[in-house]
């Protein structure tokens, strides 16, 4: 209706759908780490905060189910803020937390970084960045729930097969990428075709980004377009930051990947991002990183966040969160 941008509308819908749950087993505290708002979830206490948040119930569930302290970062969001704001906010909050683990009764040998969707991208980025931070506790594991793991190849089988599946269609995904990466929406079609990728760059990264890495049983022979398209230098100049390693964890060098902690990866069959998880799974395994993979046949993008939303609740939500909780408890 042109009342507001789609990213802003999605945030509005998230807020009005979120009926915040109070749980006597979990204490929730709103804090500030510098200028960054965070929410601390601690087991076995009696009070609850009042600020609305779509992920509040998810955090409550994971906190009491795993008997863990959980920190949720209130990073600055679209459409008001652009890259690299999300990563910077989450990284700064994470470092602050890692330096203060004793304050919150957290075992420094059992810290897990977790993220869902774009948060999964940020979790992967932070885990890679912290590999080089020798003065901080090591991350024990990374939990990535249907993460965005690259923004280069938009012709993967899952992107084509699920391009019109709610709640993340291919067009909306491209819109969000453009908004966050400060790319004009007029370049969406060129990005979709991969025409902004220089031939030498594709030659370098094809072994990690190509659909050839996806199992044949997940492909549709009728949906195998030419990729990348003929190179468009103007498009490259406008969108080349999509190819930066900082924006695509899949493109990190072998040495960095090999040092990463074990991973728990969640993918959903009915998700444009399904193959992002599969590509990262292979990337990690090829470098000897232990990977546990949980695939949800009836899952769709965003389903984990719909926990306890009455008529908007789905069985796949509980499947994913139970699987994540079981994994965290096992390490």
Please identify every residue annotated as catalytic. Answer: 117, 271, 301
CB 165 within 8 A of CB 270: yes
Rounded Cα distance between 101 and 188, Å, is 43
CB 277 within 8 A of CB 284: no
Torsion of Cα atoms, 323 then 324 then 328 then 329, to 10°: -40
Rounded Cα distance between 195 and 189, Å, is 9
Question: Which ranges of 67-184 does DSSP label H, i.e. alpha helix?
Answer: 85-98, 118-130, 157-161, 170-180
Rounded Cα distance between 136 and 68, Å, is 20
CB 229: neighbour CB atoms within 10 A?
17
Helices (H) and strands (E) in the chain, counts: 12, 7
Q: At what angle do helices 199-209 and 274-286 cross, to 10 degrees?
A: 90
Rounded Cα distance between 253 and 258, Å, is 9
Strands laid side by side in the 291-300 sheet: 112-116, 141-145, 262-270, 291-300
């Amino acid at each position: 209706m042109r009342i507001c941008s789609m990213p802003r509308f999605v945030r509005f819908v998230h807020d009005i759908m979120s009926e915040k749950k109070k749980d006597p087993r979990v204490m929730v505290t709103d804090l500030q780490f510098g200028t960054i708002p965070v929410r601390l979830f601690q087991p076995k206490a009696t009070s609850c905060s009042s600020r609305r948040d779509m992920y509040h119930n998810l955090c409550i569930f994971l906190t009491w189910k795993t008997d863990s302290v959980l920190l949720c970062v209130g990073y600055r969001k679209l459409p008001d803020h652009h890259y690299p704001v999300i990563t910077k906010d989450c990284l700064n909050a994470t470092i602050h937390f890692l330096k203060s683990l004793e304050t919150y009764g957290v075992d420094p040998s059992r810290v897990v970084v977790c993220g869902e969707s774009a948060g999964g991208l940020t979790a992967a980025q932070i885990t890679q960045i912290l590999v080089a931070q020798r003065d901080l506790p090591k991350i024990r594991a990374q939990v990535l729930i249907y993460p965005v793991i690259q923004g280069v190849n938009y012709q993967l089988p899952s992107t084509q097969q699920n391009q019109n599946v709610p709640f993340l269609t291919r067009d909306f995904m491209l819109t969000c990428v453009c908004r966050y990466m400060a790319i004009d929406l007029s370049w969406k079609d060129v990005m979709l075709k991969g025409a902004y990728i220089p031939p030498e760059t594709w030659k370098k990264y094809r072994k990690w980004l190509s659909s050839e890495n996806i199992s044949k049983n997940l492909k549709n022979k009728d949906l195998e377009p030419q990729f990348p398209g003929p190179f468009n230098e103007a498009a490259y100049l406008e969108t080349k930051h999509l190819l930066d390693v900082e924006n695509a964890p899949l493109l990190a060098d072998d040495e960095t990947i090999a040092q990463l902690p074990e991973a728990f990866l969640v993918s959903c069959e009915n998700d444009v991002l399904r193959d992002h998880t599969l590509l990262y799974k292979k990337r990690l395994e090829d470098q000897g990183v232990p990977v546990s993979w949980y695939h949800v046949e009836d899952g769709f993008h965003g389903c984990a966040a719909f926990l306890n939303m009455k008529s908007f609740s789905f069985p796949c939500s509980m499947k994913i969160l139970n699987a994540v909780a079981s994994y965290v408890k096992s390490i």
